[in-house]
Amino acid sequence: MIRLLNVSMMPPGVGQPVLRNLTLTVAQGEFRWLLGPSGAGKSSLLRLLTLETRPSAGQMDLLGMSVSQASRATLRNLRRRIGFVPQDYRLIGEWTVFDNVALPLRLRGASERDTRREAFAVLEWLDVAHLADKRPGTLSGGEQQRAAIARALIGRPEILLADEPTNALEDAQARRLLATFQELVDMGTTVIVATHNEALVREAPAASIVLQDGTLAGADTQDGIAARRSDRA
């Protein structure tokens, strides 16, 4: 579960908050689109939720734990339960794709045999198993994106956050990824996907968090979902 109460975020050296008084709750096992124009604060909200920064005001709870006063050890344990697909992939260039993807399991102390099995399963599912020994710098944008998705999925996270996860994928791959997200939701994972891709949102109607100028402009909603479904029809 994700719970934000009057959360604001002001990065150091920036005169005004990039997020203001956000209050929202996303239940465990729920899917949400994160929508809004560029500069609305989507990436900032994702940075908060991936614990790359802490709120400058307000109360934020993730998976039943308060983040605001959490110790470093608590934050570290929370991070291991969150999967994230960044827009810029954030793969370690000196490592192979396999080592990048295997990292979350290795950090949890999984055996090397289990790590190999799970890493290759997810890489095969994303059609990039043949690239396991390559370095990210030699891959195309789409291949790097799939490697980043594999790293986010491998640990079966309790919260999955994705920032434009389909922008380098072909339509068929994007649809398949959405189906996977839905499977994770069915297994109890909370999924939040930030996107500009309206067609994708229309194709998979779900509740959304809409940001505008760092504030919550809308959060729905069965009505919104129904409206999008009727558009699609």
Partner 1 sequence: MSAPVSPGLRSGSLPLLVALMTLLAGLSLAGLTGVQTLAEGWAGAARNATTIEIPSDTPQLEDRTRALIQTLHKTPDITTVRELSPQQVQTLLAPWLGQVSDSGHLPGLSLPVVLIVAHTGTPDLGRVVHEALPEAVVEEDRRWGERLNGLGSSLVACAWLAVSLIAAIAVLSVGMTVRRSVMAQRKAVEIVHFLGAGDVTISSRIAGRAALLSLAGGLAGLFFLSPVITMLARKLAPFSHDAGPAALPATTWQTMLASWWNTLHVLPRLLLEELGALPLIAACLGWLTAQTVVLVWLRRLP
What is the contact surface with partner 1 in residues (CB under 8 A)?
50-54, 72-73, 75-80, 84, 90-95, 99, 102-104, 106-108, 112, 115, 151
Question: Tokens at residue 53, please?
Answer: 């920064």
Nearer to partner 1, 94 or 170 (CB): 94
The distance of closest approach from Cβ of residue 9 to partner 1 in the complex, given in angstroms and rounded to an integer, is 12
The distance of closest approach from Cβ of residue 28 to partner 1 in the complex, given in angstroms and rounded to an integer, is 19
What's the CA gap between 165 and 158, in Å, rounded? 18
Nearer to partner 1, 51 or 128 (CB): 51
Strands 57-62 and 215-219: unpaired
The distance of closest approach from Cβ of residue 91 to partner 1 in the complex, given in angstroms and rounded to an integer, is 8
What's the CA gap between 174 and 149, in Å, rounded? 11
Nearer to partner 1, 11 or 39 (CB): 11
Nearer to partner 1, 57 or 75 (CB): 75
What's the CA gap between 117 and 102, in Å, rounded? 10
Nearer to partner 1, 33 or 89 (CB): 89
Under DSSP, is residue 39 helix (H, G, I), strand (E, B) or coil?
coil
Strands 19-26 and 31-35: unpaired
The distance of closest approach from Cβ of residue 102 to partner 1 in the complex, given in angstroms and rounded to an integer, is 7
What's the CA gap between 222 and 220, in Å, rounded? 6
The distance of closest approach from Cβ of residue 92 to partner 1 in the complex, given in angstroms and rounded to an integer, is 5
Terminal-residue alpha carbon distance, the chain: 32
